[in-house]
């Protein structure tokens, strides 16, 4: 009997359909995200040798915008999943949740590193089981401990399926990289939406909510 809570094929197919329907938006989004992330980090490198204070300031600015953009990518993915119109300005609109996201990311990272020290496998398990925390913060506004705890609850019994999914998405992005790098404009959005698809499916499976997935693309 199949006990899977989500279908890998369905997740990737949904991601592919949404990518095709919003391709040029995703191109603009990824270009904007890259520019926003790269400028502060490059400025930090420029002043690194001559001005340590400016280097420290630009490094903090780079970290801030990097996290803010990551949060915006999550919000955009949730909106596209809901078939709402995406907006590049969503890259900046999650700032009220910044510290929740930051502390959650730090806590999640420490847990993963601690697990990796314990013979690697526990770290992989923690990385997979806790991976939904980012969606729970942006989607539900949960705090750091709540988000990670809820992620473990949502992913109970789905660890292996998630491991296969993440490996598959890595493989897809490698193919995108090999396709003269430009393929990443297609493969990254596929992974973004496929991951949100799985999050929504797990959320609906645990809470009992019916998930409506329309395919008018």
* R_g over Cα of the chain: 18
* Distance between CA atoms of residues 193 and 56, nearest Å: 35
Question: Confidence band (pLDDT; 50, 70, 90) for 215?
Answer: very low
pLDDT of residue 4: 66
* Distance between CA atoms of residues 94 and 200, nearest Å: 20
In this predicted structure, the answer to whether residue 145 has a pLDDT above a threshold of 90 is yes
Which DSSP string do the residues of 155-170 spell out, in sequence order?
TTT-HHHHHHHHHHHH
Question: Confidence band (pLDDT; 50, 70, 90) for 99?
Answer: very high
> Which residues, 6+ apart, have CB-to-CB distance to 143 below 8 Å?
100, 104
In this predicted structure, the answer to whether residue 207 has a pLDDT above a threshold of 80 is no
| Average pLDDT, integer, range 29-38 | 94
pLDDT of residue 1: 40
| Average pLDDT, integer, range 89-111 | 94
Question: Confidence band (pLDDT; 50, 70, 90) for 52?
Answer: confident
């Amino acid at each position: 009997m199949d006990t899977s809570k989500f279908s890998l094929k369905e997740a990737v197919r949904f991601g592919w359909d949404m990518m095709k329907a919003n391709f040029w938006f995703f191109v603009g989004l990824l270009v904007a995200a890259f520019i926003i992330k790269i400028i502060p980090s490059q400025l930090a490198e420029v002043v690194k040798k001559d001005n340590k204070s400016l280097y420290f300031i630009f490094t903090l600015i780079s970290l801030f915008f990097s996290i803010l953009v990551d949060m915006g990518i999550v919000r955009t993915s949730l909106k596209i999943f809901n078939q709402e119109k995406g907006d590049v300005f969503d890259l900046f609109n999650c700032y009220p949740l910044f510290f929740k996201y930051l502390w959650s990311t730090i806590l999640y990272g420490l847990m993963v590193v601690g697990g990796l020290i314990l013979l690697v496998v526990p770290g992989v398990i923690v990385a997979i089981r806790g991976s939904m925390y980012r969606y729970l913060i942006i989607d539900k506004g949960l705090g750091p401990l709540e988000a990670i705890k809820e992620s473990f609850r949502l992913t109970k019994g789905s660890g292996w399926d998630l491991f296969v999914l993440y490996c598959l998405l890595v493989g897809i992005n490698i193919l995108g990289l090999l396709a003269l790098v430009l393929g990443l404009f297609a493969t990254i959005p596929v992974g973004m939406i496929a991951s949100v698809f799985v999050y929504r499916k797990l959320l609906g499976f645990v809470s009992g909510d019916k998930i409506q997935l329309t395919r008018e693309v």
